[in-house]
């Protein structure tokens, strides 16, 4: 595998605090009190519209209000309430030194994804940072569409040379929809059952295991 696509939240960065606090504020507007932020970690990774609809049965109109409140907090404060996973930068460095080309394929809006990568000084590791173009109903609002976009923008057509790395089922399913293998990681916000049910090609427990897993593909 020469071209490696990385998810962002839950794969490169531990982003729970900023995202869950933004969700908490949005829910509070509707009188929904959730004091335990861990209960809101299900919002990390999938498109936000899907999560508000799945877990709180929001209508499109409720979602439009909620996402405005979410972004008010997240854009100003929450986006930087995160940290790199221990060892992940060493993994990126190792892969680049071994001739791999690295890309970000995130469900986070692309502008936000680029800000996070720059904030942590990771720009030099990545050929391209790709993300969603909106929150719902846009051309790149699904993970599969983001992956296809990164492939198209970088003129990558040989699926045998590309692999995805991510922590949630939508990373695996998005990769499969584009006929790519996916390394599922358990140190993020998914779990063994979720990744197995989505049929991740390989599952690892730590960032340090990613290079060896990619060699198995």
* Catalytic positions: 7
DSSP letter assigned to residue 11? T
Bridge partner list, 101 = 3
Whole-angstrom Cα distance, residue 75 to residue 127?
25
CA 13 to chain CA mean position, Å: 9
Kindly state the tokens that stand for 213: 């897993």
- Own/partner pairs for 30-36, CB < 8 Å, 24+ apart? 30/56, 30/62, 30/66, 32/56
125 neighbors 28 (Cβ within 8 angstroms): no
Kindly state the tokens that stand for 166: 């991510």
């Amino acid at each position: 595998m020469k071209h490696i696509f990385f998810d962002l939240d839950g794969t490169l960065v531990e982003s729970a605090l900023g995202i869950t606090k933004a969700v908490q504020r949005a829910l509070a507007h509707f009188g929904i009190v959730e004091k335990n932020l861990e209960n809101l970690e299900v919002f990390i990774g999938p498109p936000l519209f899907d999560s508000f609809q799945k877990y709180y049965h929001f209508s499109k109109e409720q979602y439009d209000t909620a996402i405005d409140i979410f972004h008010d907090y997240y854009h100003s404060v929450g986006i930087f309430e995160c940290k790199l996973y221990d060892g992940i930068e060493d993994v990126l460095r190792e892969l680049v030194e071994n001739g791999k080309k690295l890309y970000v394929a995130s469900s986070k809006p692309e502008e936000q994804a680029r800000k996070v990568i720059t904030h942590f000084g990771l720009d030099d590791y990545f050929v391209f940072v790709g993300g969603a173009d909106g929150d719902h109903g846009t051309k790149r609002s699904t993970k599969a569409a983001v992956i296809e976009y990164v492939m198209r923008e970088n003129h990558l057509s040989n699926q045998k040379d590309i692999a995805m790395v991510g922590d949630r089922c939508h990373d695996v399913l998005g990769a499969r929809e584009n006929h790519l293998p996916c390394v599922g990681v358990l140190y993020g916000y998914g779990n063994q059952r979720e990744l197995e049910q989505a049929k991740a090609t390989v599952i690892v427990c730590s960032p340090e295991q990613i290079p060896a897993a990619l060699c198995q593909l």
